Every structure is written in structure tokens, then in C-alpha cells.
């Protein structure tokens, strides 16, 4: 039986890459009939590096309109990402707004293909005509700086979740990769940030947080909490970036959802170990270059460090089964109502499993879940219905507070 299921899955994966002029596979039809919500796509960061018209074919990136429609994607949360370095330089506010400008420019160029989604209640109206709806998620609360009024400004621009910290600790919370953890969880300002997010109806995202910060965020929030793009530590022991069983269960108990990430660094233990080592090595590199500059020597650049790192740490091959295993485990651990997807497309340098390389590939995920015995109703929940439910609940908490 397991051999037959594996064969069915393999055939479906092959069919998932069908040309536009070929008949749709069963999984492709299912994708188009379901609501697919991906809570983490890093297209805005890529747009700042190099402008691509994502309303047309853009083969050098992982998200564009033609492949999104091929894959059945309905709602794509555009990640408004700023780095710890930009936070330190005081440029995070400017960069975040520039990325939002880029998303708005895409919509302005192709109003027949894209629209900004600010509320799940607007989904049916805006998706009509085959649009891909673009919601905004801010990855790293750094652009808020120390000003709560900026939350209102970002909410007005469409931001509907905020990942409180990224790879390092900031003014709000401690990060999971950070060696420096000044708050031992959440800062006093971070508690104010969460209260204001609850009031405005912005989802609290605990992906990237330290364990202590995740616990504190769950305690501080009056609304359900999400993990926008996280894996489960069960598969990557010692990798704090992923959620422990206990933290994932706490998110579910509060009514939230864990959005399973696709990137190799989160679903494959060998790649996860390399990722942890990278974020441990970077601070040492930064210190060494600062010392070199102080001695009057020419420091090496981060780009040089990254290139050498990639040479020393070649990629490990990963199959789609690694993501399917995560979803299987999450459903058993949390219940199907608390599991979703947050791919991290365009955010992991192409380090993605075979069969899940672009937004055209959601049918492959569907075929894999069907082959593993998940019901159609449960798959629809995982693909997007769960996230939309949580979003509505966050909005309800906001309305009750006003």
C-alpha cells in the first residue's frame, strides 16, 4: 500500500509541472478550486535588489503571476523584510516603506492581476477575475523603531502581521539566532507593541523568536497568534528557529495556526545545523572585520563571507517528503485546524525541496497530502481556510476593543 501511495505521489508530482496547454491534473484542479494562502513570500526584498515585472513571467524568481495562477495561489503575504543591520543603521523604516511602494507598484501596473488584501472579508470581492491577492506581513518589527504610532501607519498601508524580531534581538523581543538576549523574552516596549497590534487587528507572528520570547508573546496577546513560516523542532533537534512541540501546542491552544515552511534550512536537519552555524559565525566575522578596520586594514564584506560559506557548506538534497512529514506531524500534534503553509519562496536563496521550488508547485503538495490519506476537507483547511479563520478572529478582538 505504501509503495502504491508513493507511486501515486510521484506521478502527481510529475503532472504538477504540466505545460499551460495540457489538461489540468486532479491536483491542479483541486488547487484552483481551493483557497490557497501562503503567509510568507519574500518578493519585495527581491524587487529592491532587481526590479522584475511580476505580472509577467519572471523565471529568475519564485513568485510571479503566471506561476501563481498555475499553482492555484489566491493570497500571497508579501514579506516586508528588514535586517538587523538596517535596524542598526536606522534605515529600516525607509526600506520597509519602499518595499510596500514596490508591492503597490505591482498592483498599479496590473490591477487585473493583483489587488491588496486588507481583510479576509474582502477576499471574495477582490479575487474575482483571477487576481492574486497580496497581503502584507512585516518580517522584523525594526521599522517601528520606538514609536507605537508607526504601527498605525503600517496598518494603514496594509500590514496585517508583524514578525516581532528576526535573526537577532531588537527593541521588541529576543531572536532565536541571537547570542545577545537582553530581554530574556519580550521587552516592556514589546508588550506595548503587542497590545497595540491587538487593538489594530495586526496578527502577532512568533516565527524567528526565541523560546522565551514566544512564551511571553503568547501570554501578552489577547488574540490568537501565528507562526508565519516555521518548522517543527521534532525534525531538527536543537534548532531553536523551529518550534518545540510545547510551543506549537501553546499556539494551537490559543486558537492560532502554525504555518509550515518549505525551505530546506527548516525541514532538513543537516541544513538546519548549517543555518544555526551560519548565524553563530556571522557575529564573529563582524567583530573580526571591525577590528581589521580599526587597524587600518581593508575588511572583508558580508558578500565575501557568504560566498565562502556557500563554498564550505554545499547544499544538501531535500525532497518534498520533508515538508509532508512536517505537516503530517503537525496535524497529529495540533489538530488539523491549526496547521497552514508559509513557504518562504524567494527568501531562502533557492534552497527548496524537490517538487516545491516555485508558486506553481502547490499542486505537488496537494498530491502528496492526498497520497498520505488526508481528506479533501482537511487539505483545504491547511491550504488556507485555517489562516483566514485566525485572521478573522484577530479582527474580532480588534473590533471588540474599540
pLDDT at 23: 85
pLDDT at 129: 87
Give the pLDDT confidence of 133-172 residue by residue, as tens digits.
999 999 999 999 999 999 999 999 999 999 999 989 999 9
Name the band, by pLDDT with cuts 50, 70 and 90, for residue 387.
very high
Q: Most confidently modeled of 2-16, 221-235, 292-306?
A: 221-235
Q: Is the pLDDT of residue 201 over 70?
A: yes
Name the band, by pLDDT with cuts 50, 70 and 90, for residue 16.
very low
Give the pLDDT confidence of 32-84 residue by residue, as tens digits.
999 999 999 999 999 999 999 999 999 999 999 999 999 999 999 999 999 99
Supply 184's cell numbers: 530574556
pLDDT at 22: 73
Are 362 and 383 spatial neighbours (Cβ–Cβ below 8 Å)?
A: yes
| C-alpha gyration radius of the chain | 20
Q: Is the pLDDT of residue 398 over 90?
A: yes
**Mean per-residue pLDDT for 101-125?**
97
Domain boundaries, the chain: 2-268+321-401, 270-315
Residue 341 to residue 387: CA distance in whole angstroms: 9
Q: Is the pLDDT of residue 15 over 50?
A: no
CATH number of 2-268+321-401: 3.20.20.140
Phi, psi of 221 (to 5 degrees): -80, 135
Supply 47's cell numbers: 524587487
**Mean per-residue pLDDT for 180-184?**
96
Give the pLDDT confidence of 346-380 residue by residue, as tens digits.
999 999 999 999 999 999 999 999 999 999 999 99
Tell me the three state secondary structure of residue 89.
helix
Name the band, by pLDDT with cuts 50, 70 and 90, for residue 12.
very low
Amino acid at each position: 500500500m505504501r509503495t502504491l501511495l508513493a507511486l501515486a505521489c510521484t506521478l502527481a508530482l510529475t503532472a504538477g509541472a504540466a505545460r499551460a496547454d495540457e489538461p489540468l491534473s486532479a491536483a491542479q484542479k483541486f488547487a484552483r478550486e481551493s483557497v490557497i494562502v501562503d503567509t510568507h513570500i519574500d518578493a519585495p526584498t527581491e524587487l529592491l535588489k532587481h526590479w522584475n515585472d511580476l505580472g509577467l513571467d519572471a523565471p529568475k524568481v519564485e513568485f510571479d503571476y503566471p506561476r501563481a495562477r498555475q499553482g492555484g495561489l489566491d493570497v500571497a503575504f508579501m514579506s516586508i523584510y528588514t535586517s538587523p543591520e538596517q535596524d542598526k543603521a536606522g534605515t529600516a523604516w525607509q526600506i520597509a516603506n519602499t518595499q510596500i511602494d514596490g508591492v503597490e507598484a505591482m498592483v498599479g501596473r496590473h490591477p487585473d492581476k493583483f489587488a491588496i488584501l486588507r481583510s479576509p472579508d474582502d477576499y471574495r470581492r477582490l479575487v474575482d477575475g483571477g487576481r492574486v491577492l497580496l497581503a502584507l506581513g512585516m518580517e522584523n518589527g525594526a521599522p517601528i523603531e520606538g514609536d507605537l504610532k508607526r504601527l498605525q501607519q503600517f496598518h494603514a498601508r496594509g500590514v496585517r502581521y508583524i514578525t516581532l524580531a528576526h535573526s537577532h534581538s531588537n527593541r521588541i523581543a529576543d531572536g532565536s539566532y541571537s547570542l545577545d538576549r537582553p530581554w530574556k523574552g519580550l521587552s516592556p516596549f514589546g508588550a506595548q507593541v503587542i497590545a497595540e497590534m491587538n487593538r489594530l487587528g495586526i496578527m502577532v507572528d512568533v516565527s524567528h523568536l526565541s523560546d522565551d520570547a514566544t512564551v511571553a508573546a503568547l501570554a501578552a496577546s489577547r488574540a490568537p497568534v501565528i507562526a508565519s513560516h516555521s518548522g517543527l523542532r521534532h525534525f531538527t533537534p536543537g534548532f531553536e528557529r523551529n518550534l518545540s512541540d510545547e510551543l506549537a501546542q501553546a499556539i494551537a491552544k490559543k486558537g492560532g495556526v502554525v504555518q509550515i515552511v518549505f525551505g530546506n534550512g527548516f525541514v532538513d536537519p543537516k541544513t538546519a545545523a548549517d543555518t544555526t552555524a551560519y548565524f553563530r559565525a556571522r557575529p564573529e566575522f563582524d567583530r573580526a572585520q571591525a577590528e581589521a578596520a580599526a587597524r587600518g586594514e581593508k575588511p572583508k564584506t558580508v558578500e565575501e563571507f557568504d560566498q565562502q560559506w556557500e563554498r564550505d557548506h554545499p547544499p544538501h538534497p531535500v525532497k518534498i517528503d520533508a515538508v509532508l512529514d512536517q505537516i503530517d506531524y503537525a496535524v497529529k500534534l495540533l489538530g488539523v485546524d491549526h496547521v497552514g503553509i508559509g513557504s518562504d519562496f524567494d527568501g531562502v536563496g533557492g534552497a527548496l525541496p524537490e517538487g516545491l521550488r516555485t508558486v506553481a508547485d502547490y499542486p505537488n503538495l496537494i498530491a502528496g497530502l492526498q497520497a498520505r490519506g488526508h481528506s479533501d476537507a482537511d487539505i483545504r483547511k491547511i491550504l488556507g481556510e485555517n489562516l483566514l479563520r485566525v485572521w478573522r478572529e484577530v479582527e474580532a478582538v480588534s473590533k471588540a476593543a474599540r
